[in-house]
Structure 1
Amino acid sequence: MKKEENPWSEGILLICTKCSKSISASELKEEGNAGENLKMFLKKSLKDSGDGKKIRVVTSSCLDVCIDDFQAVTYASTAGTTETMILHPEKEKEELLEFLKSKVRGY
């Protein structure tokens, strides 16, 4: 097995694909898959702020945190800490973005 350097310097955010199926359509304003929409918003926002290479944002299979009408996400830092949280993928996406930026800036 050949070990490679991480293509991101600070961490990775995993967005559960199963959760977006359990969010009621009446709770969402954007069309499409809520998890994919959240991923694209975060990737674009991090790229625009110059932090796109620092945190990788990807979708994942079930994170085993199933709560109806919420999106589960897990942030794993390259330092070894992991944080899992639930949020509304549209109403709390800016808060999640600020959380990720705080990880990049170390506060």
Structure 2
Amino acid sequence: MRKEENPWSDALVMICTKCGKSISGMKEANVAENLKMFYKKSLKDSGDGKKIRVVTSSCLDICIDEFQAITVASNDKTESFIMHPEKDRDAFLELLKEKL
């Protein structure tokens, strides 16, 4: 076994795939996948795409109805957030960029 460096060592963003099913009006949408694609494209467009890896995840155990759970893990710390996937997605993107 050997340790390898990765190109996204600044942070890992995990988006819960279960939460979207509890958000009114979005039960049929793939909320986690849509958010993942939004963040990946936005970070790539700003030149930060290689600094942060965005992935979908199984349940993060912080489910609250009507909200999406997201966890950000970096070298410094791990933080979890709940947000509305449409109303709060731009604010969360700015928060991610501040962490870089």
Gaps of 5+ in 2: none
Deviation string for 1:16-45 (max 9, x for gaps)?
Answer: 0010111111xx5xx731111111110000
Structure 2 CA distance, aligned partners of 1:32 and 1:4? 36
Which residue is 2:23 aligned to?
23
Q: After the TM superposition, which parts of structure 1 deviate over 2 Å for at least 4 consecutive aligned residues?
A: none
Count of residue pairs the alignment pairs up: 99
- Within 5 A, what are the aligned runs for 1:35-74? 35-74=32-71
Residue 99 of structure 2: SS of its match in structure 1? helix
Name the TM-score, length of structure 1 as normaliser: 0.87
Q: Which amino acid aligns with 1:86?
A: I
Deviation string for 1:48-76 (max 9, x for gaps)?
Answer: 00000000000000000010010000000
Q: Percent identity?
A: 69
Gaps of 5+ in 1: none
Which residue is 1:95 aligned to?
91
